[in-house]
Amino acid sequence: MASTSPGLLSALSWPSCQKPSSFAPRLLKNAKPRLGFASPLAGVGYPVSPGHTLIIARRPVTRFQELTGTEKARLLVWIDWTQEHLAANLSPAPDGFNLGLNDGPAAGQTMPQLHFHVIPRYNGDVPDPRGGIRHVIPGKARYWQ
């Protein structure tokens, strides 16, 4: 894992034992805000799992296509950094990750500021994880049946 955080982003995460309303989000250790994106924030209001992290654009931007080419490239660097950080610091370490964003109201975006989710996943956290993000539209996830 890289010893320093990439520039342009920010990340937060909630301890699994506390409710989001009981404390403020915290920056991930060694995450240093830089030009373009805030530092990854581990502090999602409604975490899906321990370590659920948001990477948030620093400037006002609602949609992915509003990012510059440089910002899009840095977003990928931050996604990689955040996964490595969570894998090295969560116990137990995640068995996988869901990565994504809701781009526009039709896609479920409720916060009008671009943010990218890094969601740690664990074997057994759901009975059958196949289909992953395809579950956003009921009836479309089980494409293998």
Q: What are the residue boundaries of the structural domains of the chain, listed by start?
A: 20-136
pLDDT given for residue 67 in this prediction: 92
Report pLDDT for 54: 86
Residue 121 has pLDDT above 60, yes or no: yes
Residue 117 dihedral angles phi and psi, to the nearest 5°: -95, 135
φ and ψ at residue 106, rounded to 5 degrees: -65, -25
Rounded CA-CA distance 61/92 in Å is 35
Q: Are 84 and 1 in contact (CB under 8 A)?
A: yes
- Domain 20-136 bears CATH identifier 3.30.428.10: yes
Residues of the chain with pLDDT > 70, as a percent, come to: 66
Token readout for 38 is 């805030």
Catalytic residue among 52, 85, 115, 117: 115
**Residue 25 pLDDT:** 40
Position 7 scores a pLDDT of: 36
pLDDT band at 106 (very low <50, low <70, confident <90, very high): very high
Burial of 121 (0-12, 13-18, 19+ CB in 10 A): middle
pLDDT digits (tens, 9 = 90+) for 2-54: 334 443 334 444 333 333 333 234 455 555 434 355 556 555 677 888 888 88
Whether 135 is catalytic is no
Tens of pLDDT, residues 46-60: 788 888 888 888 888
